[in-house]
Amino acid sequence: MIKKLLWLLLMSTALSQNDFDRLEMNTLVQIDNITFGAREYINHDYLQRIFKFEFEGTPFRVEYRKIKKENRSEDWYRFQWKNLKYKKLFYNSRFEYRFRELKNDVFRYRPQFGYKKSLFITFEPHFQYTYTEKKSEYSHMQTFIGFTYNYKMENCAVQITPYIEIDTNSEFVKYVIFPCIKVKLRL
């Protein structure tokens, strides 16, 4: 009941924002340690195709994302290390290289930390190095608040995660806020 009330509060907050202009939809299929997926938006010209590979018995994952955004294409390569888990608290490191058409390529360090049970809050600051400008900077912060429902069936499991994404700029001023949903099928 508390989760539902929190979700209603978060959704009403997101929908009341003047800059609410999109809905993010994530669809993933996991088979053993390989995941395929897509991220699409309603009312936003941005598409991601996702491939993830988890190294069994380790805290490591590699990921590739093919991005189509407006009139350009990008290739993102990511390495994730699940550094720390203490009860329901966690800390992950994400290292990401973005080859960006019509924009400068960047290397990003994206630590993730927060609380995760069925209800979660995750903070993800973005620190980046821009190669052409030889510039290091704090870029922005993404915050995710939501909860996860898990359904187990005979041959698969389904995970449904509604959440809110709040992005702030380098001065921690709200840039955008929007609702998201992730559906993950484990075979």
Residue whose structure tokens are 């069936």 = 153
Q: What is the pLDDT of residues 129-163, one digit of tens each?
A: 999 899 999 999 999 999 999 999 999 999 999 99
Task: In whole angstroms, give the CA distance from residue 33 to residue 52.
Answer: 8
The answer to whether residues 62 and 78 touch, using CB atoms and an 8 Å cutoff, is: yes
Residue whose structure tokens are 């698969």 = 156
Token output for 117 = 């049970």
Q: For residue 5, report the phi and psi dihedrals to the nearest 5 degrees.
A: -65, -40
The answer to whether residues 107 and 117 touch, using CB atoms and an 8 Å cutoff, is: no
Q: Which residue has the higher pLDDT, 167 or 17?
A: 167
Please compute Rg for the chain using Cα positions: 17
Task: In whole angstroms, give the CA distance from residue 48 to residue 65.
Answer: 6
State the pTM of this model.
0.89
Q: What is the pLDDT of residues 57-73, one digit of tens each?
A: 999 999 999 999 888 99
Q: CA angle, corner 150, sides to 16 and 116, nearest 5? A: 65
Q: CA angle, corner 185, sides to 177 and 1, nearest 5? A: 55
